[in-house]
Amino acid sequence: MKSTIAYKDELTQQQWSDFQFEPIQIETLPALEDPEDFRNSFTFRDSLLEAFAEISGKNVLKLLFITPDFNLNSAFYGIAYLEGKEIYTATIQQTEIFTNWYDAILDEDDDEKDAKLFHFSKNSYSYSPINAKKHEQIFEQTGEFIVSAIPNEFIAEKLAKEKADFITPFINLDVEYDFEIIKANFEKLVTENSWKVVAPTNNQKLYDEFEAEAGFAFPQLLKDFLSLHNGVEDTRFLNAESILKEWRDWQSIYNEWTQEELLDTYSTNEGKTLLMYTTPYWIPFFNLYNGNFIALDFAPAEKGTPGQVIRFGADQEIGYQEAESLSAFLEQLLNSEEFEEFDEDEY
pLDDT tens, position by position, 144-176: 999 999 998 999 899 999 999 999 999 999 999
Query: Using an 8 Å Cβ cutoff, are 119 and 78 in contact?
Result: no
Position 187 pLDDT exceeds 70: yes
Mean pLDDT across the chain:
92
pLDDT over threshold 80, residue 262: yes
Q: Give residue 256's pLDDT.
A: 86
Q: Which residue has the higher pLDDT, 160 or 114?
A: 160
pLDDT tens-digit profile of 49-102? Answer: 999 999 999 999 999 999 998 666 789 999 999 999 999 999 999 999 999 999
How far apart are alpha carbons 150 and 145 in whole angstroms? 9
Nearest to 153 by CA among 52, 258, 262, 249: 258
Assess whether pLDDT exceeds 80 at residue 113: no
Contacts of 331 (CB under 8 A, 6+ apart): 185, 323
- Work out the pLDDT band at 343, boundaries 50, 70, 90: very low
Q: Is residue 28 within 8 Å of 97, Cβ to Cβ? A: no
Higher pLDDT, 131 or 113: 131
Query: What value does the mean pLDDT take over residues 42-48?
Result: 97
Strand segments, DSSP code E, in the chain are: 4-6, 22-24, 60-66, 76-82, 86-92, 116-121, 124-129, 282-289, 292-297, 308-313, 320-323
pLDDT of residue 338: 47
Q: Are the CB atoms for 45 and 55 separated by under 8 Å?
A: no
Note the pLDDT of residue 70.
63
Work out whether strand 22-24 and strand 308-313 pair parallel, antiparallel, or are unpaired: unpaired
Instruction: Please state, as a whole number, how many other Cβ atoms lie within 10 Å of the Cβ of residue 145.
Output: 21
pLDDT at 341: 45
Q: Rounded to whole angstroms, how far apart are CA atoms 282 and 276?
A: 10
Assess whether pLDDT exceeds 60 at residue 202: yes
- Do residues 312 and 282 lie in contact, with contact meaning Cβ atoms separated by under 8 Å? yes
Give me the pLDDT at residue 107, please: 81
What is the reported pLDDT for 344?
Answer: 41
What mean pLDDT is predicted for residues 257-262?
93
What superfamily in CATH does domain 158-346 come from?
A: SMI1/KNR4-like (3.40.1580.10)
Give the dihedral of Cα atoms 250, 254, 257, 260; nearest 10 deg.
Answer: 120
Q: What per-residue confidence (pLDDT) applies to 9?
A: 78
Q: Residue 337: pLDDT band by 50, 70, 90 thresholds?
A: low
Q: What is the pTM of this model?
A: 0.75
CB 4 within 8 A of CB 24: no
Query: What is the structure's pLDDT at 69?
Result: 80
Amino acid at 293: F
Q: Could you give the percent of the chain with pLDDT greater than 90?
A: 86
Ordered by start, the domain boundaries in the chain are 4-150, 158-346
